[in-house]
Structure 1
Amino acid sequence: MQRRSLFAAALGLLTLAFSQATLAAEPLKIGFIYPGPIADVGWTTQHELGRKLVEKTYGDKVKTYFVENVPETADAARVVRQLINQGCTMIFTTSFGYMEATAKLAKQFPKVSFDHATGYKMDKNLGIYQTRFYQGAYLMGVLAGKMTKSNTLGFVGSHPIPEVLRNINAFTIGARSVNPNAQTKVIWISSWYDPPKEREAAETLVSQGADVLYQNTDSPAAVQVAEKKGLYAFGQDSDMSKYGPRAHLSANTVNWGVYYVKKVGDKLAGKWKPEDTAWGMKEGMIEVSPLGSAVPADVAKIFTEKKEAVASGKLEVFAGPLKDNAAGVKVPAGSVLPEKDLWSLTWYVEGVQGSIPK
């Protein structure tokens, strides 16, 4: 009888050890949802490269899932629930329009770790991550200001949210830092990815006198228009030089992988916590691609000096004096736009024409 009890106890311990080993061997399941298609350039593509870097870094410790072309509607919540039902205990929602759905789901699934890109709502299990994309946009503006002959710059806008307005303003500040006569015209297309609309907007801007084009949209349409018309343009999110080798001056690119690797490592170590993260050139999240052959040596020198100053923190993009385009002082001389105002920015800087759509 005693032998049977000892045997049963030993068997129970073995079963428990096996169960614990099995649990320990279970990979961390991570879900990503993307607003656009995975192509060879653009916002979604850069997030996808970040997901792949997570897999490369952590191997069989993780299992990742992704869903592309997820509308920024109630569909987002449905897709995230599906990922959670597949066992995902970590979710990355990669666009501003997913914010409300992510905030609601975080309350419904308190054991899941959520990270939302470019939003502002946080919770006990919901962190946010932003980029200082405006740093690269400023540098693109420096090139635009030196390369324009018409002093008219064209910008294809997606949605009039602070993230995009920061880039329009930073681009214009950069241009006017080397060319005070530079002006920026903006056309909004109400989409992150719509190549026909992007192309039409770029062509309209050219017809209005723009000879340098930039965009906060995902396709290389603006670069292609510039190439065809003998003008200049920039890549956004990714290097787009192959779509306009003569037109492409540089690109404002983002490396999401550095953030994803850090947060997944925290989760694996049991140290994940919701954070408000804003990384830029200093952290290696924002990078600019090599300069195109059309950029003269003297312009390249100015660009390099400013790039080093931005990366080191010596040059603040939104430093005063700054006015809005109605001549109202927004940042006095000697001051820098406060962080909270930067992330909730809702005005055009001096040099941007027109008004922001409601």
Structure 2
Amino acid sequence: MTDRRSLLAHLTRRRMLIGSAGFAAAASTGFLPQRLFAQEPIPVAGIYTVPVEQQWVSRIHLAAEAAKADDQITYSFSENTANTDYPRVMREYAESGAKLIVGEIFGVEQEAREVVLDYPDTAFLMGSSFMPDPAYPNLAVFDNYIQDASYLSGIIAGAMTETGNIGMVGGFPIPEVNRLMHAFMAGVKEMKPDATFQVSFIGSWFDPPKAKETAFAMIENGADLLYAERFGVSDAAQEKGILAIGNVIDTQADYPETVVASALWHFEPTLQAALAKIAEGSFEADNYGLYSFMKEGGCSLAPLGTFEGKVPQDALDMVAEKEAAIRAGDFEVEIDDSEPTSS
């Protein structure tokens, strides 16, 4: 949207929908942060609406901590920041001298943009459901476009489900969740064309008990494999003795007999691109979502670990074939941001 008034009106409607709401991993993808030589550490602040151990936020936090350890940045952060407090915290960090502020403004899209305009010398890199707008030249947006890895994890899920009845528990039906679910379902159908899906959203980014209860209901309704977009889902799968597929982080160490595979998000390429732009004085409104694509090193499929040797070979062959094509740019996983529904 280029018309600012239309944008703000649309953002208000979006806010009503969603309410208030390591380094080693990056190295495994072939991406390593490059030190910005001859530069003073860039002051960076993170503002998060949930604990830093939550899946999505943890990837941003991990990348920032790695950059801090590499002396590229200084790093302060606030967690569990309520949406009602978010604009105030943005202002406080900007006033304190932060050169880059990272976070997630899905619940405060309009208010955050109003703050951005008041601090033109501060770079803002924010998770958002919207594309960059030249009306906010110092606001770059990103999202976890890890549909490539989600699709591959779906192939594995399709090979591991026996009934073809799969439960999917998400936070909110917004683009960054919807696209991963659709990609996962497309992968499942590569191996199980007649698969059916139970889809539900819990209306929270961090409510493990609610996610767990939702997953229990799906299991009672016949699901024999769960897509764990939220914390709590894998707990339900573990208790009921069925399998789960993880999202954003690898939780197999916590659920060694439950989590078969996970689609991993690596925020390092996104952060490094922003730091490079700030260092050279060319940071501007841009879409950093592309740095989450697999070919950019922004996502990967977690190692099978405890499930090594337990996934059918034809599924592994398809995963290898599709991953090679994705990385080479010969195959693109469809990006579908529409709200998924149960079969």
On whether the aligned pair clears a TM of 0.5, the verdict is: yes
Pair 1:265 & 2:265 matched: no
Pair 1:111 & 2:121 matched: yes
Partner of residue 307, structure 1:
323
For residue 96 of structure 1, give the secondary structure of its aligned residue in structure 2. Answer: coil
Partner of residue 282, structure 1:
295
Pair 1:30 & 2:10 matched: no
* Inter-CA distance 271–152: structure 2 relative to 1 (3 Å threshold): same
Contact 2:155/2:191, CA 8 A, preserved across alignment: yes
* Inter-CA distance 155–25: structure 2 relative to 1 (3 Å threshold): closer
Task: Spell out, residue by residue over 1:100-150, the C-alpha distance to the aligned partner (whole angstroms, 9 max, x if none).
Answer: 232111111112111111331532111111232111111121111111111
- In structure 2, runs of 5+ residues without a counterpart are 1-37
Aligned-partner Cα distance in 1 for 2:280–2:43: 14
Partner of residue 313, structure 2:
297
* TM-score, normalisation: structure 2: 0.81
Contact 2:229/2:246, CA 8 A, preserved across alignment: no
Aligned-partner Cα distance in 1 for 2:142–2:52: 21
* Inter-CA distance 95–47: structure 2 relative to 1 (3 Å threshold): farther
Contact 2:59/2:267, CA 8 A, preserved across alignment: yes
Task: Spell out, residue by residue over 1:149-200, the C-alpha distance to the aligned partner (whole angstroms, 9 max, x if none).
Answer: 1111111011011111111111111111221111111121001111101111
Task: Spell out, residue by residue over 1:216-252, the C-alpha distance to the aligned partner (whole angstroms, 9 max, x if none).
Answer: 22x2x22222222221112211100022101111111
Q: How many residues of Structure 1 are paired with residues of Structure 2 in the alignment?
A: 298
* Inter-CA distance 315–87: structure 2 relative to 1 (3 Å threshold): same
For residue 297 of structure 2, give the secondary structure of its aligned residue in structure 1. Answer: coil
Alignment of 1:115-126 (within 5 A): 115-120=125-130, 121-122=132-133, 123-126=136-139
Partner of residue 63, structure 1:
74
Aligned-partner Cα distance in 2 for 1:95–1:223: 27
Bigger shift: residues 204-213 or 26-35: 26-35
Pair 1:74 & 2:84 matched: yes
Between structure 1 and structure 2, the one with the greater Rg is 1
For residue 185 of structure 1, give the secondary structure of its aligned residue in structure 2. Answer: strand
Contact 2:63/2:267, CA 8 A, preserved across alignment: yes
Matching residue within 336, 341, 353 for 2:342 = 353
Tell me the CA shift for residue 99 of structure 1. 2.5
Pair 1:153 & 2:166 matched: yes
For residue 181 of structure 1, give the secondary structure of its aligned residue in structure 2. Answer: coil
Alignment of 1:135-150 (within 5 A): 135-150=148-163
Aligned-partner Cα distance in 2 for 1:268–1:254: 25
Partner of residue 92, structure 1:
102
For residue 50 of structure 1, give the secondary structure of its aligned residue in structure 2. Answer: helix
Aligned-partner Cα distance in 1 for 2:218–2:105: 27
Which amino acid is 1:93 matched to? G
Pair 1:237 & 2:251 matched: no
Higher RCO by CA contacts (8 Å cutoff, separation 6 or greater): 2
Tell me the CA shift for residue 25 of structure 1. 8.7
* Inter-CA distance 38–93: structure 2 relative to 1 (3 Å threshold): closer
Alignment of 1:79-228 (within 5 A): 79-120=89-130, 121-122=132-133, 123-217=136-230, 219=231, 221-228=232-239
* Inter-CA distance 147–26: structure 2 relative to 1 (3 Å threshold): closer
Which amino acid is 1:312 matched to? A
Contact 2:129/2:174, CA 8 A, preserved across alignment: no
For residue 114 of structure 1, give the secondary structure of its aligned residue in structure 2. Answer: strand
Partner of residue 6, structure 1:
none
- In structure 1, runs of 5+ residues without a counterpart are 1-23, 319-336
Tell me the CA shift for residue 347 of structure 1. 4.1
